Structure 1
Amino acid sequence: MADSNITKKALAASLKELMTEQSFEKINVTQICERCDMNRKSFYYHFKDKYDLINWIFDTEFMALVKDEDLHADYGKHWALVEKACDYFYENHAFYRKALQIKGQNSFSDHFREYIRPLLQNRLSYIFGQGNVDEFVLGFFADAVLCAMERWLLARNCIPSREFVERIKDLTEKCVTAIYREIAEPQQPAPEEAEK
């Protein structure tokens, strides 16, 4: 098991290094293996293809980051977790900028969406106080998270993670406050209706 992880980590480091030099599309398995002095057989023993390796990098690094986190944490701790996750993406934004540009079947964007869905479902179930969150709600929030992350990480001048999270938090709180105020206030007739 330990040897397997050493091999996977060496292949991952090789791919990450290659991605600093060229686009993902131009990288092939032979280059990944040559960079870390391994043969193709070793690569295919552990991974189906280079897309599988990209997903493994995300899964292992991100899972290590959030594995002990409580998704039912209080409001402040929840935002601390969001900031921790965004710090990770920002520290690795050169890698994820290229990973998010992969299109078509096996794209990282699709993998990321599928990965965050259960995390979102868990959090939304807690917020809404219900067991199952329907597909529409889950899809809406998964799209929102993915689009916001892609726009942020693909931006030419990617703002620091703290600023990104602070802006999202500020926007969320302002929207919730405004919606609550609008719902709580009695409906006032439009000026032209009041004159009738």
Structure 2
Amino acid sequence: MRPLPAVIFMSRWLQVPLYLGLIVAQGVYVVLFLKEVWHLVTASMTLDETNIMLVVLGLIDVVMISNLLIMVIIGGYETFVSRLGVEGHPDEPEWLDHVNAGVLKVKLSMALISISSIHLLKTFISPDQNTTHAIMWQVIIHVAFLISALVMAFVDRLTTHTHPTHFQEPADLQPLGSAGSSPLKAHD
């Protein structure tokens, strides 16, 4: 490989500290989750049902953000840096074997919609803590997330159906007539 392309290709390893930083953020969320669980357990006798529900929704929110972090860390590293080498491992995430940038974007947008839904539910449970203006903006932002996710999913579906051979692994490609030829080579 020529020097400039080699340097450009190796530059993907600059993302490793970013993924390690997200792992640290994941640890912070674990501490926050445990703190909230402790708060729920110790204050359970003094909290009313609405406040307990708000704390539980906060816990769900932390879990969903944590799931989002895992998708970004594992999926991003696998897609943009290097293979993880966990094929065949019993704990390998089901979605990892068919992840690409498009799939990752759609999964992330769905996670953001879920997180936004939790925030919206918390707002609707205690509307007196928010102004009508704040509630309106939360709904608008949630709808914007929904629309952007639909557009991303549509574009991903459109591109994978328009050029399906670009989204298959070489082992998945079927020969087209002569030995060693593939649909990928036929389109190039």
TM-score by length of 1: 0.29
Q: Which has the larger helix fraction?
A: 2
